[in-house]
Amino acid sequence: MEIIRSISGMREFSSDCLQSNKSIGLVPTMGALHEGHLSIVRQSTEANDITVVSIFINPAQFSEGEDFSRYPRDYDGDISKLSALSAAAVFMPEAADIYPDGYKTYVEVRGLSERLCGMFRPGHFTGVATVVLKLFNAVRPTRAYFGLKDYQQCAVLKKMRDDLNLDCEIVLCPTVREADGLAMSSRNAYLSMEQRLDAPCIYKALKDTGHAIKNGSLKIKDIAAKLHETLSAVKSITEIQYASAYDPDTLDEITHGARVLIAVAVKMGATRLIDNIVVEL
Ligand code: PAF
């Protein structure tokens, strides 16, 4: 497995692959890889000749006071996990290569970026879209893979791909969960023992609400109230940022519809957890 540390090195590697007509799958990550990431890497290695995993903790997607400096880092562990899969290369650029002095260009996907997480993390999706476009330009992937736990990120990146006519298929991968239902996330490592024990309540609340609208015992317009009632009773949850029913395409809050995105963001102390399900009625 090659470890590539510069944009120029990455472009040379991808030129060689493209000249020999090899498809490239890109799995963008911020490292601290867990089974959720590894299952996405496996999807990519099955569908592409070459899989590149990028590891870059992108400063542009963290606001002041967020967890950029304490975001979990485990580069050696990540590399050994990826070597055990058939990833061809790890792209680990330096921040100064991605954002050199005087860097001024950002990608803003209006509308979708401002809803849900965007209300609590201003500028976050601009940081995500910008770095992903830069990764696409360096790696030139045939397909890029993103996990549906970050549903809004997937929606923003698909919109960027469509609006900018990018020649890359975006593949959305199902959320991988712990045995007790908690969505896998690098940030789960921040949870205290008590918070970790309480955390599966998020997915349980989503599932219970999903079942209730499917069996008709709950109306879509009552989802937000039901979720707030359930989640506010959980001791470790210190803030509910949003918990409601949304249109899966526009991310607008809805009171009726045939497909419903039920999405939640809560804080347990300093740790922010998100999760979602999509229900077809
Ligand atoms: O989902 C993530 O880990 C990040 O937002 C991404 C897509 C790697 C961009 O930094």
Q: Is 58 in the pocket of ligand 1 (CB under 6 A)?
A: yes
pLDDT at 56: 98
CA dist 17 and 94 (Å) reads 23
Ligand 1 atom 7, closest CA: 28
Mean pLDDT of 166-181: 98
pLDDT at 242: 98
Ligand 1 atom 1, closest CA: 29
Residues in the chain: 281
pLDDT at 9: 98
The minimum-distance atom of ligand 1 relative to the CA of 30 is 3
Q: Is 128 in the pocket of ligand 1 (CB under 6 A)?
A: yes
Answer whether 210's CB lies under 8 Å from 262's CB. yes
| CATH code at 2-173 | 3.40.50.620
Answer whether 140's CB lies under 8 Å from 24's CB. yes
The H-or-E segment that residue 128 falls in is helix 124-139
85 Cα distance to chain centroid: 21
Q: Which residues contact 14 (CB under 8 A, 6 or more apart)?
A: 24, 52, 138, 139, 140
Mean pLDDT of 47-64: 97
For 209-261, the pLDDT digits (tens) are 999 999 999 999 999 999 999 999 999 999 999 999 999 999 999 999 999 99
Ligand 1 atom 5, closest CA: 128
Q: Is 30 in the pocket of ligand 1 (CB under 6 A)?
A: yes
Look up 37 and say whether it is catalytic: yes
**Count of beta carbons in the 10 Å neighbourhood of residue 279:** 22
Question: How many whole angstroms from 73 Cα to the centroid of ligand 1?
Answer: 14
The minimum-distance atom of ligand 1 relative to the CA of 128 is 9
Mean pLDDT of 43-69: 97
pLDDT at 120: 97
- CATH 3.40.50.620, the chain: domain bounds: 2-173
The minimum-distance atom of ligand 1 relative to the CA of 147 is 1
Helix axes 151-163, 124-139, angle to 10 degrees: 60
Give percent above pLDDT 90 in the chain.
Answer: 100
| CATH code at 186-276 | 3.30.1300.10
Answer whether 221's CB lies under 8 Å from 256's CB. yes
Using pLDDT thresholds of 50, 70 and 90, give the confidence band for residue 95: very high
**Count of beta carbons in the 10 Å neighbourhood of residue 248:** 18
Average pLDDT, the chain: 98
Ligand 1 atom 9, closest CA: 128
Ligand 1 pocket test, candidate residues 38, 90, 131, 158, most atoms within 8 A of CB:
131
Question: How many whole angstroms from 55 Cα to the centroid of ligand 1?
Answer: 9
Q: Is 50 in the pocket of ligand 1 (CB under 6 A)?
A: no
Helix axes 124-139, 7-19, angle to 10 degrees: 50
